[in-house]
A and B are shown apart, each in its own frame.
Chain A
Amino acid sequence: MPDLVFIAIMVVTVGGALVALEAEEIVYGAIALAGSLFGVAALFFLLNAPYVAVFQITVYVGAVAVLIIFTVMLVRQEKWAKEVPPQSVARLAGILTAVAIAVSFGFAAAGSTILGTTTLINSVSFLQIGELISRNFAPILETLALVLAASIIGALTLSKVEREEDKK
Protein backbone atom coordinates (compact mmCIF):
# COMPACT_ATOMS: atom_id res chain seq x y z
CA MET A 1 0.00 0.00 0.00
CA PRO A 2 1.30 3.47 -0.81
CA ASP A 3 1.79 5.72 2.19
CA LEU A 4 -0.06 8.94 2.90
CA VAL A 5 2.64 11.25 1.58
CA PHE A 6 2.56 9.45 -1.76
CA ILE A 7 -1.23 9.71 -1.99
CA ALA A 8 -1.14 13.43 -1.17
CA ILE A 9 1.48 14.08 -3.85
CA MET A 10 -0.46 11.95 -6.33
CA VAL A 11 -3.60 14.01 -5.71
CA VAL A 12 -1.65 17.25 -6.30
CA THR A 13 -0.01 15.91 -9.46
CA VAL A 14 -3.05 14.37 -11.13
CA GLY A 15 -5.42 17.09 -9.93
CA GLY A 16 -3.03 19.78 -11.14
CA ALA A 17 -2.85 18.14 -14.57
CA LEU A 18 -6.66 17.97 -14.80
CA VAL A 19 -7.12 21.59 -13.69
CA ALA A 20 -4.41 22.69 -16.15
CA LEU A 21 -6.48 21.32 -19.03
CA GLU A 22 -9.98 22.09 -17.77
CA ALA A 23 -9.73 25.40 -15.87
CA GLU A 24 -11.91 28.03 -17.55
CA GLU A 25 -9.37 30.80 -17.01
CA ILE A 26 -6.16 29.75 -18.77
CA VAL A 27 -3.93 31.63 -16.30
CA TYR A 28 -5.21 29.39 -13.51
CA GLY A 29 -4.51 26.45 -15.81
CA ALA A 30 -0.89 27.55 -16.19
CA ILE A 31 -0.50 27.88 -12.41
CA ALA A 32 -2.07 24.43 -11.92
CA LEU A 33 0.41 23.04 -14.45
CA ALA A 34 3.24 24.46 -12.34
CA GLY A 35 1.71 22.69 -9.32
CA SER A 36 1.53 19.42 -11.24
CA LEU A 37 5.19 19.73 -12.32
CA PHE A 38 6.10 20.41 -8.69
CA GLY A 39 4.23 17.25 -7.70
CA VAL A 40 6.32 15.24 -10.16
CA ALA A 41 9.45 16.75 -8.60
CA ALA A 42 8.20 15.60 -5.18
CA LEU A 43 7.74 12.11 -6.60
CA PHE A 44 11.37 12.22 -7.76
CA PHE A 45 12.35 13.00 -4.15
CA LEU A 46 10.32 9.99 -2.99
CA LEU A 47 12.18 7.90 -5.55
CA ASN A 48 15.46 8.86 -3.90
CA ALA A 49 16.58 10.85 -6.94
CA PRO A 50 17.13 14.32 -5.39
CA TYR A 51 19.36 15.57 -8.20
CA VAL A 52 16.70 14.97 -10.84
CA ALA A 53 14.08 16.47 -8.53
CA VAL A 54 16.04 19.69 -8.03
CA PHE A 55 16.74 19.87 -11.76
CA GLN A 56 13.02 19.44 -12.41
CA ILE A 57 12.20 22.28 -9.99
CA THR A 58 14.77 24.69 -11.42
CA VAL A 59 14.05 23.98 -15.08
CA TYR A 60 10.33 23.24 -15.09
CA VAL A 61 8.83 25.12 -12.16
CA GLY A 62 11.43 27.85 -12.27
CA ALA A 63 11.85 28.48 -15.98
CA VAL A 64 9.26 26.74 -18.17
CA ALA A 65 6.25 27.43 -15.93
CA VAL A 66 7.16 31.10 -15.56
CA LEU A 67 7.74 31.34 -19.34
CA ILE A 68 4.31 29.78 -19.96
CA ILE A 69 2.57 32.10 -17.47
CA PHE A 70 4.13 35.17 -19.11
CA THR A 71 3.13 33.98 -22.60
CA VAL A 72 -0.40 33.27 -21.40
CA MET A 73 -0.62 36.79 -19.99
CA LEU A 74 0.70 38.20 -23.29
CA VAL A 75 -1.76 36.43 -25.57
CA ARG A 76 -4.73 35.92 -23.23
CA GLN A 77 -8.14 36.95 -24.50
CA GLU A 78 -11.37 37.46 -22.64
CA LYS A 79 -13.27 35.14 -24.97
CA TRP A 80 -11.18 32.17 -23.83
CA ALA A 81 -12.74 32.44 -20.39
CA LYS A 82 -16.05 31.42 -21.89
CA GLU A 83 -14.40 29.06 -24.32
CA VAL A 84 -16.96 27.11 -26.30
CA PRO A 85 -17.09 23.65 -24.76
CA PRO A 86 -15.74 21.16 -27.31
CA GLN A 87 -18.40 19.15 -29.07
CA SER A 88 -19.44 16.22 -26.96
CA VAL A 89 -18.28 13.83 -29.71
CA ALA A 90 -14.72 15.15 -29.53
CA ARG A 91 -14.76 15.08 -25.73
CA LEU A 92 -16.16 11.55 -25.71
CA ALA A 93 -13.52 10.42 -28.21
CA GLY A 94 -10.79 11.97 -26.07
CA ILE A 95 -12.03 10.35 -22.86
CA LEU A 96 -12.46 6.96 -24.57
CA THR A 97 -8.97 7.08 -26.06
CA ALA A 98 -7.43 8.07 -22.74
CA VAL A 99 -9.28 5.28 -20.91
CA ALA A 100 -8.34 2.76 -23.61
CA ILE A 101 -4.67 3.68 -23.31
CA ALA A 102 -4.78 3.47 -19.51
CA VAL A 103 -6.52 0.07 -19.67
CA SER A 104 -4.00 -1.26 -22.18
CA PHE A 105 -1.19 -0.13 -19.86
CA GLY A 106 -2.97 -2.04 -17.12
CA PHE A 107 -3.18 -5.22 -19.21
CA ALA A 108 0.47 -4.86 -20.20
CA ALA A 109 1.46 -4.52 -16.53
CA ALA A 110 -0.86 -7.25 -15.21
CA GLY A 111 1.40 -10.13 -16.22
CA SER A 112 4.50 -8.50 -14.82
CA THR A 113 6.14 -9.74 -11.65
CA ILE A 114 8.62 -6.91 -11.17
CA LEU A 115 6.07 -4.22 -10.41
CA GLY A 116 5.50 -5.32 -6.82
CA THR A 117 9.01 -4.49 -5.69
CA THR A 118 9.18 -1.93 -2.89
CA THR A 119 12.92 -1.53 -2.26
CA LEU A 120 14.82 1.26 -3.95
CA ILE A 121 18.06 -0.48 -4.89
CA ASN A 122 19.55 2.49 -6.70
CA SER A 123 22.09 4.30 -4.55
CA VAL A 124 24.03 6.44 -7.02
CA SER A 125 25.30 9.80 -5.84
CA PHE A 126 25.19 12.92 -7.92
CA LEU A 127 28.96 12.62 -8.25
CA GLN A 128 28.40 9.52 -10.38
CA ILE A 129 25.74 11.30 -12.41
CA GLY A 130 28.11 14.19 -13.06
CA GLU A 131 30.87 11.82 -14.05
CA LEU A 132 28.55 9.99 -16.43
CA ILE A 133 27.38 13.24 -18.01
CA SER A 134 30.83 14.74 -18.46
CA ARG A 135 32.70 11.59 -19.44
CA ASN A 136 30.59 8.88 -21.09
CA PHE A 137 27.83 11.14 -22.40
CA ALA A 138 29.95 14.17 -23.29
CA PRO A 139 28.99 14.07 -27.01
CA ILE A 140 25.32 14.07 -26.04
CA LEU A 141 25.93 17.02 -23.73
CA GLU A 142 27.61 18.94 -26.55
CA THR A 143 24.77 18.14 -28.95
CA LEU A 144 22.25 19.21 -26.34
CA ALA A 145 24.07 22.52 -25.91
CA LEU A 146 23.88 23.09 -29.67
CA VAL A 147 20.17 22.20 -29.70
CA LEU A 148 19.47 24.59 -26.83
CA ALA A 149 21.41 27.40 -28.53
CA ALA A 150 19.62 26.74 -31.83
CA SER A 151 16.19 26.72 -30.18
CA ILE A 152 16.87 29.97 -28.31
CA ILE A 153 18.16 31.67 -31.49
CA GLY A 154 15.11 30.33 -33.34
CA ALA A 155 12.73 31.58 -30.68
CA LEU A 156 14.35 35.03 -30.70
CA THR A 157 14.26 35.20 -34.50
CA LEU A 158 10.62 34.17 -34.57
CA SER A 159 9.48 36.70 -32.02
CA LYS A 160 11.60 39.59 -33.28
CA VAL A 161 9.54 42.72 -33.78
CA GLU A 162 10.35 44.46 -37.03
CA ARG A 163 10.63 48.15 -36.35
CA GLU A 164 9.69 50.83 -38.82
CA GLU A 165 13.26 51.99 -39.40
CA ASP A 166 14.35 48.41 -40.19
CA LYS A 167 11.98 48.26 -43.12
CA LYS A 168 13.38 51.32 -44.83
Chain B
Amino acid sequence: MNSLADFVVVSAILFAIGIYGLIVKRNALRMLFAVEIMINAANLNFVAFSQFLWNDAVGQTFVLFSIALAAAEAAVILAIVVVAYRLHQDVDVSELKSMGG
Protein backbone atom coordinates (compact mmCIF):
# COMPACT_ATOMS: atom_id res chain seq x y z
CA MET B 1 0.00 0.00 0.00
CA ASN B 2 1.12 3.55 -0.69
CA SER B 3 1.62 5.62 2.41
CA LEU B 4 1.37 9.38 2.75
CA ALA B 5 5.17 9.48 2.98
CA ASP B 6 5.54 8.12 -0.58
CA PHE B 7 3.54 10.98 -2.06
CA VAL B 8 5.37 13.52 0.08
CA VAL B 9 8.70 12.13 -1.14
CA VAL B 10 7.66 12.48 -4.80
CA SER B 11 6.49 16.01 -4.08
CA ALA B 12 9.77 16.93 -2.35
CA ILE B 13 11.81 15.52 -5.25
CA LEU B 14 9.77 17.49 -7.79
CA PHE B 15 10.13 20.67 -5.73
CA ALA B 16 13.92 20.19 -5.47
CA ILE B 17 14.14 19.66 -9.24
CA GLY B 18 12.19 22.87 -9.74
CA ILE B 19 14.55 24.81 -7.44
CA TYR B 20 17.53 23.40 -9.33
CA GLY B 21 16.03 24.49 -12.64
CA LEU B 22 15.30 28.02 -11.40
CA ILE B 23 18.87 28.45 -10.15
CA VAL B 24 20.78 26.94 -13.07
CA LYS B 25 18.75 27.77 -16.18
CA ARG B 26 18.90 31.18 -17.84
CA ASN B 27 16.41 30.45 -20.61
CA ALA B 28 13.01 31.99 -19.78
CA LEU B 29 11.14 28.95 -21.13
CA ARG B 30 13.19 26.54 -19.01
CA MET B 31 12.48 28.72 -15.98
CA LEU B 32 8.77 28.52 -16.79
CA PHE B 33 9.12 24.71 -16.88
CA ALA B 34 10.77 24.80 -13.45
CA VAL B 35 7.99 26.98 -12.00
CA GLU B 36 5.31 24.66 -13.40
CA ILE B 37 7.07 21.65 -11.86
CA MET B 38 7.18 23.39 -8.47
CA ILE B 39 3.49 24.34 -8.64
CA ASN B 40 2.65 20.72 -9.39
CA ALA B 41 4.73 19.54 -6.44
CA ALA B 42 2.79 21.89 -4.15
CA ASN B 43 -0.57 20.76 -5.55
CA LEU B 44 0.38 17.10 -5.14
CA ASN B 45 1.36 17.70 -1.52
CA PHE B 46 -1.89 19.50 -0.88
CA VAL B 47 -4.09 16.73 -2.29
CA ALA B 48 -2.03 14.00 -0.58
CA PHE B 49 -2.40 15.50 2.90
CA SER B 50 -6.06 16.27 2.26
CA GLN B 51 -6.88 12.75 1.10
CA PHE B 52 -5.04 10.94 3.86
CA LEU B 53 -5.86 13.07 6.88
CA TRP B 54 -9.16 14.91 6.45
CA ASN B 55 -12.54 13.93 5.20
CA ASP B 56 -13.72 17.11 3.50
CA ALA B 57 -13.53 18.68 0.07
CA VAL B 58 -11.62 21.85 0.92
CA GLY B 59 -8.18 20.50 -0.05
CA GLN B 60 -9.31 19.39 -3.49
CA THR B 61 -11.21 22.63 -4.07
CA PHE B 62 -8.16 24.65 -3.18
CA VAL B 63 -6.07 22.71 -5.70
CA LEU B 64 -8.67 23.34 -8.40
CA PHE B 65 -8.29 27.09 -7.81
CA SER B 66 -4.52 26.72 -7.76
CA ILE B 67 -4.49 24.91 -11.12
CA ALA B 68 -6.66 27.61 -12.72
CA LEU B 69 -4.40 30.34 -11.33
CA ALA B 70 -1.31 28.54 -12.64
CA ALA B 71 -2.87 28.38 -16.10
CA ALA B 72 -3.44 32.15 -16.08
CA GLU B 73 0.14 32.71 -14.94
CA ALA B 74 1.51 30.48 -17.72
CA ALA B 75 -0.48 32.41 -20.33
CA VAL B 76 0.95 35.76 -19.17
CA ILE B 77 4.53 34.43 -18.99
CA LEU B 78 4.27 32.96 -22.49
CA ALA B 79 2.99 36.28 -23.84
CA ILE B 80 5.95 38.05 -22.21
CA VAL B 81 8.31 35.47 -23.73
CA VAL B 82 6.87 36.05 -27.20
CA VAL B 83 7.22 39.84 -26.83
CA ALA B 84 10.77 39.52 -25.49
CA TYR B 85 11.67 37.27 -28.40
CA ARG B 86 10.22 39.77 -30.86
CA LEU B 87 12.29 42.59 -29.32
CA HIS B 88 15.57 40.77 -28.66
CA GLN B 89 15.46 37.60 -30.81
CA ASP B 90 16.37 35.69 -27.65
CA VAL B 91 14.78 34.66 -24.35
CA ASP B 92 17.90 34.55 -22.18
CA VAL B 93 16.90 36.37 -18.99
CA SER B 94 20.41 37.71 -18.39
CA GLU B 95 20.15 39.55 -21.73
CA LEU B 96 16.74 41.08 -21.05
CA LYS B 97 17.83 44.32 -19.41
CA SER B 98 15.03 46.48 -20.80
CA MET B 99 12.55 45.18 -18.24
CA GLY B 100 14.53 46.97 -15.56
CA GLY B 101 15.53 43.77 -13.80
A: which residues have CB within 8 A of B? 1-3, 6, 10, 13-14, 17-18, 20-21, 26, 29-30, 33, 36-37, 40, 43-44, 46-49, 51-52, 55-56, 59-60, 63-64, 67-68, 71-72, 74-75, 77, 80, 83, 86, 90-91, 93-95, 97-99, 101-102, 105-106, 109, 114-124, 128-129, 132-133, 137, 140-141, 144, 147-148, 151-152, 154-156, 158-159
Q: Contact between A67 and B5 (Cβ–Cβ < 8 Å)?
A: no
Q: Contact between A98 and B19 (Cβ–Cβ < 8 Å)?
A: yes
Q: Contact between A60 and B27 (Cβ–Cβ < 8 Å)?
A: no
Question: Which of A86, A99, A118, A123 has the most B CB atoms < 10 Å from its CB?
Answer: A118
User: Across the interface, which residues of B come within 8 angstroms of A132, CB to CB?
Assistant: 57-58, 61
B: which residues have CB within 8 A of A? 1-8, 10, 12-21, 23-27, 29-30, 32-34, 36-37, 40, 43-44, 47-48, 50-61, 63-65, 67-76, 78-83, 85, 89-91
Q: How far is the CB of B83 from chain A (nearest CB, A)?
A: 5
Selected from A30, A60, A86, A140, the residue in CB contact (under 8 A) with B67 is A60
User: Across the interface, which residues of B come within 8 angstroms of A147, CB to CB?
Assistant: 69, 72
Known: A71-B29, A97-B19, A101-B15. A117 touches B3 (CB 8 A): yes
Known: A17-B14, A29-B30, A33-B33. A155 touches B75 (CB 8 A): yes
A-B CB contact pairs (8 Å), 16 listed:
A2-B2, A2-B6, A10-B10, A21-B17, A21-B20, A26-B30, A36-B14, A44-B44, A51-B60, A67-B74, A86-B24, A118-B1, A124-B60, A129-B57, A151-B76, A159-B82
Interface of A is mostly: helix
Q: Contact between B80 and A129 (Cβ–Cβ < 8 Å)?
A: no
Q: How far is the CA of A26 from the CA of B57 in the complex (A)?
A: 38
Selected from B37, B47, B50, the residue in CB contact (under 8 A) with A20 is B37
Q: How far is the CA of A29 from the CA of B21 in the complex (A)?
A: 12
Q: Contact between A67 and B2 (Cβ–Cβ < 8 Å)?
A: no
Q: Contact between A6 and B33 (Cβ–Cβ < 8 Å)?
A: no
Interface of B is mostly: helix
Selected from B3, B58, B67, the residue in CB contact (under 8 A) with A116 is B3
Q: Contact between B79 and A43 (Cβ–Cβ < 8 Å)?
A: no
Known: A21-B25, A94-B23, A94-B24. A99 touches B16 (CB 8 A): yes
User: Across the interface, which residues of A come within 8 angstroms of B53, CB to CB?
Assistant: 114, 117, 121
Q: How far is the CB of B93 from chain A (nearest CB, A)?
A: 13
